[in-house]
Amino acid sequence: MCGIVGYIGKKQAAPIVLDGLSKLEYRGYDSAGIAVFDGKEIVTKKAAGRLAVLENLTHNGENMPGFSGIGHTRWATHGAPSDLNAHPHSNGAGTIVVVHNGIIENYMALKNKLVKKGYEFSSETDTEVLAHLLDYYYDGNPLQTITKVLHRVEGSYALGILFADHPDELYAARKNSPLIVGCSEDGCFIASDVPAILKYTRNVYYLDNQEIARLTADDVKFYTVDEEEIEKQLVTVDWDANAAEKAGYEFFMLKEIYEEPKTVTDTISPRIRNGEIVIEELGLTDEELKAINRIHIVACGSAYHVGVTAKYVIEGMLRIPVEVDLASEFRYRDPILSPEDLVIVVSQSGETADTLEAVRESKARGIKVLAIVNVVGSSIAREADSVFYTWAGPEISVATTKAYSAQLVAFYLLTMKLGRVRGVIDDRRFAKLLEDLQALPDQIELMLGQKEKIQHFANRYVAARSVFFIGRGIDYAIGLEGSLKLKEISYIHSEAYAAGELKHGTISLIEPGTLVVAVATQPELFAKTVSNIKEVKSRGAFVMAIAERGRKEIEKEADYVLYIPFTDPFFANSLAIIPLQLFAYYVSVGKGYDVDHPRNLAKSVTVE
Ligand code: F6R
């Protein structure tokens, strides 16, 4: 969603804040704004559109002097993207200025009260309520005023606040919306996410719910909403600063696809020791692992598609029943959970609102929650009972690629571990699975080697109106993700269908020339999928197939075939997804779109 950056220190604030915002642009970007204390007053500049508009307006921040500032990139929720609705928002006098991520749920009631007291609003946002409410309670003591306001607002927030009469201080607070505080020799920072400040410091504090931070140029203090000072642990982030740079790639998405072999290695290697799988962070004893009766996988978007694959993998290998839920459905459908169940939530950002609520809902019912998460210290990571980190590093492109691949292998590791403990995978099978698992990074590299072929093919489909993905079993799950990748960044309508289901209605949409991507990596389902290819071919479809090496017979039916190397069929997703990610990428590039910033989307969805 939106991005926040703030700085107070020895250097000019505005260039640092804008540079930080540029690293967060992936979170939300229909408008941006910055406020800086220039020595006399707080000066605010805002602009609808991309961050570049604000950068031009301020000469990359250079024409905004001052040593403390807050900035924001906005993804509109309350009020259309516009200069007026862009953050920061201020009280009438411009002496209290706020940037905000999240949603103030009772803002209408608060606004009505403030209007009755004579306050005038200039935007349609919920955030402006905060600025006026701070003004209403302001008694010269920022901390006391902030706590009063926080006691009155409902909803979620990450806040950066400047008070003109306290120019040497910057305040921050959070509830259900991420915010970190960083410190370096040159000053202190706030940010919604680590990449924004990685260039300046690796030393960060993760603010917890309803905590407030008071930053000065060389110090930070933390408080509860009851104004009690608290100690917080400094965490050193070991992310590679280059990971948040494009490193010569035209778009982050391509860079991140190319990082997949490393991501998969980094997620697997630390968990394999002396030929066994060791997942210390599981936090479950062997007895508890043996007792698991049912697994519920809960996630959104691509992470949900990982869950769909995992269902096939876990049920197929272990015969443990698995339910996969969209987090937005799970939390409201009163799911049937019993004490021997395990809930596994999956999230790259660790901040997805619905997934976080699923964690809370499950824990409230006394069910253990394991989180597969990428962002260290994120809300989901902190609230789940145990965390399996995918070591994918920062993922900047809105469309997930490397985190998806890391989540897949996390499930392979978990399944193999469970199979070992429960005695359902014998030594020989385990050794072969381990060999295939460890071969995946090199095999992904081989898949990446087909880049030019895929680029060439994608160029032919830049003008496609509708694309279908079909497959059975795990191949269906692969299709779900291939289809989402294509539609989110190329804006081409696309659907994924279980191959056997197409003829129950949707086949009527197949016209001469319609592209059908058929995934046929599963040996036991191969013949069935080939029959489905015939069905669409006879309606005039053009078929691109993805099959296991050696399945030459598919060339008789499909028009274009890509092959994946031999692997255990349960792991095929990790290889077959690569050409589909590349296909979506090149169609988007071919259409001239900004691949990393697809319209209407945000990287981390912190609202319901
Ligand atoms: C698609 C995509 C989204 C996310 C979804 C969940 O490319 O990135 O569908 O997978 O919003 O996000 P996380 O994994 O952060 O919970």
Q: For 344-376, give the DSSP string.
A: EEEESSS--HHHHHHHHHHHHTT-EEEEEESST
Q: Is the CB of 606 under 6 A from ligand 1?
A: no
Residue 601 domain flag: no
Domain limit, last residue, from 196, 217, 237? 237
Residue range 6-49, pLDDT digits in tens: 999 999 999 999 999 998 866 656 789 999 999 999 999 999 88
271 with 326, same domain: the answer is yes
Clarify whether residues 180 and 231 are in a common domain. Answer: yes
Residues 103 and 203 occupy one common structural domain: yes
Which domain does 388 fall in, by range? 246-448
Query: Which of 605, 607, 608 is the best mutation target for the ligand 1 pocket, counting ligand atoms within 8 Å of the beta carbon and taking the most?
Result: 605
Tokens of 275: 């030929």
Which residue minimizes the CA distance to atom 7 of ligand 1?
A: 399
pLDDT 10s digits, 296-309: 999 999 999 999 99
User: Closest ligand 1 atom to the C-alpha of 401?
Assistant: 7
**Which of 237, 257, 287 is the endpoint of a domain?**
237
Do residue 440 and residue 412 come from a single domain?
Answer: yes
Given pLDDT bands bounded at 50, 70 and 90, which one contains residue 178?
A: confident
pLDDT of res. 448 = 96
At residue 82 the predicted structure's pLDDT band, cuts being 50, 70 and 90, is: confident
496 C-alpha to center of ligand 1: Å? Answer: 17
Residues 544, 273: Cα–Cα separation, whole Å: 40
Residue 41: exposure state from Cβ atoms within 10 A (0-12, 13-18, ≥19): middle
pLDDT at 155: 87
CA 563, 568, 569: angle at the middle one, nearest 5? 65
Q: Is the same domain home to 444 and 459?
A: no
Domain boundary among 421, 448, 475: 448
Helices (runs of H) and strands (runs of E) counted in the chain: 18, 27
Residue type for 502, please?
A: L
Q: Which residue in 2, 183, 188, 300 is the catalytic one?
A: 2
Tally of structural domains, the chain: 3
482 φ/ψ sector (left φ>0, alpha ψ -120 to 50, else beta): alpha
Q: Is the CB of 604 under 6 A from ligand 1?
A: yes
What pLDDT sits at residue 598?
Answer: 87
Same domain, 97 and 184: yes
Q: For residue 595, is it within any domain?
A: no
Provide the token pair at 552.
């030459």
For residue 497, being part of any structural domain is answered with yes
- Same domain for 410 and 508, yes or no, is no
Distance 398 CA to ligand 1 centre (A): 8
Q: Does the structure show a pLDDT above 90 at 402?
A: yes
Please classify residue 56 by burial: count the beta carbons closer than 10 Å to its beta carbon, then call 0-12 exposed, 13-18 middle and 19+ buried: exposed
Q: Between 75 and 288, where is the model more confident?
A: 288
Mutate to test the pocket of ligand 1, among 252, 302, 324, 585 (most ligand atoms within 8 A of CB): 302
470 in the same domain as 370 = no
CATH number of the domain that 51 lies in? Answer: 3.60.20.10
Active site residue 2: yes
Other C-beta atoms lying within 10 Å of the C-beta of residue 259:
22
Residue 374 phi/psi, 5-degree rounding, is: -95, -40
**What pLDDT score was predicted for residue 102?**
86
Closest CA to 202 of 160, 236, 168: 236
Mean pLDDT (whole number) for 264-270? 94
Q: Whose CA is nearest to atom 16 of ligand 1?
A: 347
Measured in angstroms, how far is the CA atom of residue 352 from the centroid of ligand 1?
8
Give yes or no: residues 54 and 192 share one domain. yes
Whole-number Å distance, alpha carbon 483 to ligand 1 midpoint, is: 14
Q: Specify the range with the lowest mean pLDDT, choosing from 12-16, 242-246, 406-410, 569-573.
A: 242-246
C-alpha gyration radius of the chain: 25
Distance in Å, CA 163 to ligand 1 centroid: 36
DSSP string, 42-104: EEEEEEES-HHHHHHHTTTTTTS--SEEEEEEE--SSS-SSTTTSSPEE-TTS-EEEEEES-B
Distance of CA 181 to the CA centre of its chain: 20
Using the predicted structure, report yes or no on whether residue 77 has a pLDDT greater than 80. Answer: no
Beta carbon of 522 within 6 Å of any ligand 1 atom: no
pLDDT tens digit sequence for 528-544? 999 999 999 999 999 99
- pLDDT tens digits for range 196-226: 998 999 999 999 889 999 999 999 999 999 9
Q: What residues form DSSP beta bridges with 498?
A: 471
Residue 216 lies in a domain: yes
Does 600 fall in a domain?
no
Asked if the structure places residue 283 within a domain, the reply is yes
Residue 263 within any structural domain of the chain? yes
319 and 381 housed in the same domain: yes
Residue nearest to atom 11 of ligand 1 (CA): 301
- Choosing from 349, 411, 596, 606 the residue with most ligand 1 atoms within 8 A of its CB, the one to mutate for a pocket test is 349
In a domain, 335, yes or no: yes
The CATH number of the domain where 494 resides is what? Answer: 3.40.50.10490
Residues 37, 141: one domain?
A: yes
Does residue 603 carry a catalytic annotation? yes
Same domain membership, residue 119 and residue 28: yes
Q: How close is the Cα of 607 to the center of ligand 1, in Å?
A: 13
Nearest CA residue ID for atom 3, ligand 1: 301
pTM assigned to the model? 0.78
